[in-house]
Structure 1
Amino acid sequence: MAMKTDQIKLPVSVATEIVNKAKDTSTIASLSPSTPQIFSDADYLVFNGKSEAEVVAEGAVKSSYEQTVDSVVAKRFKVQTTTRVTSELQWADEDNQLQIIRSIQADQAAALGRALDYVIYHAINPKTGAVLSGFESLSTSAMQVTAGDDDISNVDALADALNDSYDINGVALSKTWASRLRKLRVPSTGMRFYPEIPLNLQAGSLDGITAATSGTVNGRLATTPTKVLAFMGDFSLIKWGMVRDLTSEIIAYGDPDQTGVDLKAHNQIAYRTEAMYAFAVIDPHAFAVLKTK
């Protein structure tokens, strides 16, 4: 007997609403341009020019100086995010289905971007909030500045920690500190001291240098508070890039994230996005980190 399909009712359409909450972004991606990377281990040869001109008397012996060339090895790490959704999504009409899939992939791509900050700034796995072994965090190797009660002085203290030896081209702000700076006012006029910081805290600059704001700066997902308020320094000395570009796949069977829940048995499908990063901080002392007491 042929199977009848007239009694099976499938949804004609699915009404979709995408909730756009404020998303953290990668400040390193904003302040430091990416460069192509290869899978093999990469060494960055670091040359610190030390020469100064010498005034030499006529007939006098000319002196020299020893120049050393250091090397910094780039580290690689793989990141992935897997999102499970009901398989009923496949019943949706094409327009609604694509809207949800694109939102899932955009959400996953943003998560992979944030992972760059978590690993370089804090050596933290953003999914678990735990410290990663084998990685050194910039928050511990950079020049340490302890925040005082005066945030204008805190900005100056960050710059003073670097200006004598390094050029400053960027500052990464936590949302906590960006909010505090936005509220500062000039006593005599009531004007905002840093008017370049808008209500959404996404400052493009701070006191004349390029700025970026994100919850990744203080590591909001860390299980142990980092106490970080900001990073300032020469962001061109963070070398990073993707060894392998973002790849996405649809998984229809099995238990891809080892949760003990089979996809098919629970009418689910999974979308997975992966990438491979490589990065090197050429000189951690080219950065200053501001931390609370």
Structure 2
Amino acid sequence: MATLSKGGLFEPTLTKDLINKVKGKSSLAVLSAQTPISFNGQKEFTFSMDKEIDIVAENGKKTAGGITLEPVTIVPIKFEYGARVSNEFMFASEEKQLDILKEFNEGFAKKVARGLDIAAFHGLNPRTGVASSVVGTNSFDSKVTQTVTYAKATPDDCLDTAISTVEDADREVTGIVINSAVRSDLSKMKATDGNPLYPEFRFGGKPATLGSQALDVNNTVSFGSETKDQAIVGDFANMFKWGYSKEIPLRVIEYGDPDNSGEDLQGHNQVYLRAEIFMGWGILDPESFTRVVKE
């Protein structure tokens, strides 16, 4: 089986399954458009007409309208995950090996999904929780300067104000990401008759919409000890792009100390499974988003 060699790729079925799982567990993948990403990177352009349309009288003078064309370069970066398993894996039947790879695929998909959100929302290395020099300023926390201060008693008003902030900048909102604390605060709000104002959020409810907006509840929006974000609203459908390189390497390493743990694989009857994925993303227009932040 090709994927069990010392160097190989996920089988196409596992790759498709992996990306489908990522789409279901990453807020950014749920709310935004995936685009194919060249391994060497690519440019996405935002096009805008700078002025309103002009009315011209008969024999009247025409004036310049003007256009703005802004490129955003999306460069894929490497994310990896590895784990030690007993070297009995190497001697297991092909069916058993495939079962192990499917389980690894499941876990890797969850980590990739969280990793995409954490890096793109906050510019952090998901494993260390500190700012990544590889990501740099390519994150919502760095690029999105429009903010609304969160009020625990009126979370709906905060979200509505955030939406208005985007719309006042002549942009549109297509989605909202909130953390579980905001979800809980929404569930506790009462109508004038004492009934829950948003019953769909009670008992851990995670509806897919709020008002007319697509919604995702995910604590990745608040990941990190220094992060103040409670929610982000904006035009995820059009102004955020992400994608991945289709080749996803999987290696079964039999020798050495690939995770720098100080333990030799052969000395402990182990092999090491390592998967890597190259993902890139771009925030095409920061003014199309607003962050709802705690004080």
TM-score strictly above 0.5: yes
Query: Does 1:179 find its partner at 2:184?
Result: yes
Aligned residue for 2:222, secondary structure, equals coil
Equivalence for 1:162:
166
Residue 202 of structure 1 deviates from its aligned partner by 3.0
Q: 1:197 aligns with which of 174, 177, 201?
A: 201
126-135 or 240-249: bigger deviation:
240-249
Equivalence for 2:69:
69
Residue 98 of structure 1 deviates from its aligned partner by 4.7
161-170 or 149-158: bigger deviation:
149-158
* Runs of at least 5 residues in structure 1 that lack an aligned partner in the other structure: 1-23
- Structure-1 separation of matches of 2:199 and 2:77: 38
Amino acid at match of 1:202: K
Query: Does 1:240 find its partner at 2:242?
Result: yes
- Structure-1 separation of matches of 2:84 and 2:207: 34
Aligned ranges 1:1-293 → 2 under 5 Å: 25-88=25-88, 98-133=98-133, 135-136=136-137, 137-142=139-144, 143-149=146-152, 150-164=154-168, 165-190=170-195, 192-197=196-201, 199-219=203-223, 222=224, 224-235=225-236, 236-293=238-295
The answer to whether the 8 Å contact 1:194/1:206 transfers is: no
Count matched residues: 266
The answer to whether the 8 Å contact 2:51/2:66 transfers is: no
1:175–1:247: structure 2 CA closer, same or farther, 3 Å change rule?
farther
- Structure-1 separation of matches of 2:113 and 2:120: 12
Root-mean-square deviation over aligned CA pairs: 2.2
- Structure-1 separation of matches of 2:247 and 2:203: 34
What TM-score do you get using the length of structure 1 for normalisation? 0.83
Aligned residue for 2:166, secondary structure, equals coil
* Runs of at least 5 residues in structure 2 that lack an aligned partner in the other structure: 1-23
Q: Deviations over 1:139-178 (max 9, x none)?
A: 2321211112421211211111112211111111112222
Residue 253 of structure 1 deviates from its aligned partner by 1.9
Aligned residue for 1:197, secondary structure, equals helix
The answer to whether the 8 Å contact 1:253/1:262 transfers is: yes
- Structure-2 separation of matches of 1:206 and 1:109: 27
